[in-house]
Amino acid sequence: MKNNFRILSIAGFTVLALLSTYFIFQLKFTFDFEQFFPTGDPDLEFFMDFREKFEPDDNFMLVAVRREQGIFQQDFLNDFHAFTIDCRNLEPVVRATSITNTKFPIKLPIGGYTAIPAIDRKKPDTYARDSLRLVQDERLNGRLISKDGKTAVVFMKTIDKIEQEAAEELMTDLDKLVMKYSFEEYHYLGRANFQKEIVRMQKREIIVSASVSIMLVLLIMFLIFRRFWSIFISLISIGLGMLLFMGLLGAWGRDLNAMSALYPVLMIIVGTSDVIHIMSKYMDELALGKSRDVAIRITIKEIGLATFFTSITTAIGFATLMTSRVPPIKGFGLNAAIGVMVAYITVLFFTTVLLTYFDRDQLISTKNTRFKWTKWMNDFYLFTKKHPRGIAWGGTAFIGLCLLGMSFITTNYRLTSNMPMGEKITEDFTFFEQEFSGFRPFEIAISLKRDSLEVNDYVVVKEIDKLENHLRSYPAIQSPTSITTLYKSLNQAAKGNRREHYKMPETEARFNSYRKTAERFPNSINILVSKDKKHTRIAGSVLDIGADNIGMISDSIDMFINSEIDTSLIACVQTGTGVIIDKNSKYVRNSIIRGLGSAVLIVSLLMALLFQNIRMIIISLIPNILPLLLAGAILGYLGIELEAGISIVFAVIFGIAVDDTIHFLGKYRLARAKGMDMEAALHITFTETGKAICLTTIILFFGFMVMLFSIHPPSITVGLLIAATLVSALFGDLLLIPVLIRYLNNEEDGN
């Protein structure tokens, strides 16, 4: 290797490293629920049109304040009211409502209506009576006060699509306000809090995963090479690859989202795999007495091409994620595919150059473990030769067990499955699920089918009331609200404000008498009725019982609408952010099948190009289907929900697992090309390449086990699945491939 080229290469990578360091600081972390909306979906188009007519269903922030002695105490209510007013004055907040500033209509003795406070803070002697009334009032219960009367909520409506910076400022200001009033217990729920906490988790995940991965690689490299310069070259190569990749993302303007915590792990692991194969071959050639230039040329010729193909197949595995309709998954697939190629280019043009500066004694330990590896690989070779039937039957039984496990896979995805463990945001979410109506919005869009009608006509409101009452029959659906709420409140106010009269007026005449009064409460109407009065909504929330369970409820509601609602008057469509995100379950299944099908096809074409033998294509694919089956079986047997964040595991597994197969078969092909017979070629493949794929699998296994340090459940699941399945891929390469070669590619088949 010419000295000028070496200097130019190192100088070029140094410049790129400096540029990448600058652009890393341009990276931004984001979290937005809209990111997980499946693009090109008709329900999404309907929802976006629906949002144009009304305000979004997730632009709110809740603060729950709990007092174990009960909230009906004057000093507490005064402080809580002052807190409500302070919240209303925060910049991103449009309005703030709590039990202390809520008013209900009441009919005056002399005629007409007025509004009175839900509770009079200045009359503590009426608290006992008021508390019983208010905790039973469905307009407040589960919304602004808890069922046990020990928690009060400030409901804040925030600006639409609040930006990350504004969300973090709002949460900082809320923290200060809570501290100002020294509430004994408080809980947050809302978009702004999710944005702040999820981004904080993303930053923590990237730092932890990168730090632990680097320490792990350092330890493994020490155990493998036992030489300072070997360890140094490995770490500087892997670190440079990750630096260049992250810098490229910054220069490209790519935002980091919830899936970005995988980038450091993937870059370190993919880079380590490439480095191990290159360095292992280079050191083997040096050990045989070759000069540095000859050793590196042989290494690039024999391993460089194989590593190129493994990088391409790994990149293809990630690129299949681009078939997903979920933008974060699509973006992750593209970024990861680029990252794999960045790692390869770094190893090919930087690591190989750096290696040529060092002598054999500087890189190779005096403690020769080469003989041990040769013995272990020879034992594997002999085992496959003596027990082909046992291996075949074992593989068949393995497939059967995997298929059985896959039949148990569920897509009953819950929000809590995707929230950080042991964090306050998860504790707060659980609190609101138990004490209030939860977080998941539930909406039914209602449109008129007759031009002569308006949504506040009696026949229309009566149908809406019928549907709303049906919704209350589902325990999971909480606090459904519609235009009927106003008419029920007016009916209650007209009849002495007694709770039993909180219902729709009995006659159309009485309803029409309330209709004029309803126009005096525009705020209550405008949030539920469109400006043209041709569209309205039923808004509520649904508990986090799982996407599949919610889907069954949704189907039941549709059946009720079709059979019991006069659909000649109104059209009812379930919509909202929850419905749209739940559709990801459907697209996850479809995109996995479509993406993996594409990956298998493309990899088959690459194998055909590399080996030019149909039997070798079959041999290369079978061992790499088994890890996919195992991943599905683990999900099924352990009852782990298949959701968007976990779905990427199949592409990752296929993309990485096929690497070692290519190295194994590539070495076998080279050996046959040199004139060796099948058994001799298999034996040398085991003794030379077997060591490298074992080492890379060990590194990959522990590398992905690093994700056990995550507080993000899907990341933990991804780490466990990939670690477990890559071990199965190794045994597939070392056990199944030799058996398949002997069966499909015997001496008569030639090369």
In a domain, 444, yes or no: yes
Quick one: 536 exposed, middle or buried, by C-beta within 10 A (0-12, 13-18, 19+)? buried
Q: Are residues 135 and 184 in the same domain?
A: yes
Q: Are residues 122 and 253 in the same domain?
A: no
Q: Are residues 575 and 587 in the same domain?
A: no
> Could you say which of 582, 601, 616 is where a domain stops?
582
In a domain, 417, yes or no: no
Q: Are residues 576 and 608 in the same domain?
A: no
In a domain, 478, yes or no: yes
Enclosing H/E stretch for 105: strand 103-107
CA angle 454, 455, 458 (to 5 degrees): 90
Q: Are residues 443 and 549 in the same domain?
A: yes
Task: Specify the residue for token string 């493309």.
Answer: 602
In this prediction, the residues of the chain whose per-residue pLDDT falls under 70 are 1-2, 32-38, 40, 55-57, 111, 258, 261, 365-371, 520-526, 583-599, 602-603, 610, 644-645, 745-751
**Structural domain for 244, as ranges:** 1-30+226-368
Q: Where are the alpha helices (DSSP H) in 442-575?
A: 458-471, 484-494, 508-518, 522-526, 547-564
Q: State phi, psi for 142 to the nearest 5 degrees.
A: 80, -5
Expressed in angstroms, the distance from the first to the final Cα of the chain is: 33
> Could you say which of 196, 212, 244 is where a domain stops?
196
CATH number of the domain at 187, please. 3.30.310
Q: Are residues 321 and 291 in the same domain?
A: yes
Q: Are residues 532 and 680 in the same domain?
A: no
Q: State phi, psi for 704 to the nearest 5 degrees.
A: -75, -25
In a domain, 373, yes or no: no
The token pair that represents 572 in the structure block: 């009812």
> Could you say which of 312, 339, 368 is where a domain stops?
368
Q: What is the greatest pairwise CA distance in the chain?
A: 110
Residues 576, 580: Cα–Cα separation, whole Å:
6
The model's pTM is: 0.77
| Count: domains in the chain | 4
Q: In 3D, which of 404, 405, 430, 403 has the Cα closest to residue 639?
A: 405
Contact (Cβ atoms closer than 8 angstroms) between residue 733 and residue 661: yes
CATH number of the domain at 656, please. 1.20.1640.10
Distance of CA 576 to the CA centre of its chain: 20
Q: Are residues 591 and 527 in the same domain?
A: no
177-188 pLDDT tens trace: 999 998 989 999
Q: What is the pLDDT of residue 350?
A: 92
In a domain, 415, yes or no: no
Q: What is the pLDDT of residue 73?
A: 92
Q: Are residues 259 and 136 in the same domain?
A: no
Task: Specify the residue for token string 């709590």.
Answer: 98
Q: Are residues 242 and 348 in the same domain?
A: yes
Q: What is the pLDDT of residue 749?
A: 46
Residues listed for the chain: 751
447-504 pLDDT tens trace: 999 888 888 899 999 999 999 999 999 998 988 889 898 889 888 888 878 888 888 9
In a domain, 458, yes or no: yes
Long-range contacts formed by 159-163: CB under 8 A, 24+ apart: 159/59, 159/92, 159/94, 160/55, 160/56, 160/59, 161/34, 161/56, 161/59, 162/59, 162/92, 162/191, 162/192, 162/195
Q: State phi, psi for 709 to the nearest 5 degrees.
A: -80, -5
Q: Are residues 546 and 651 in the same domain?
A: no
In a domain, 304, yes or no: yes
CA torsion through residues 679, 681, 687, 689, sign: negative
Q: Are residues 148 and 280 in the same domain?
A: no
In a domain, 37, yes or no: no
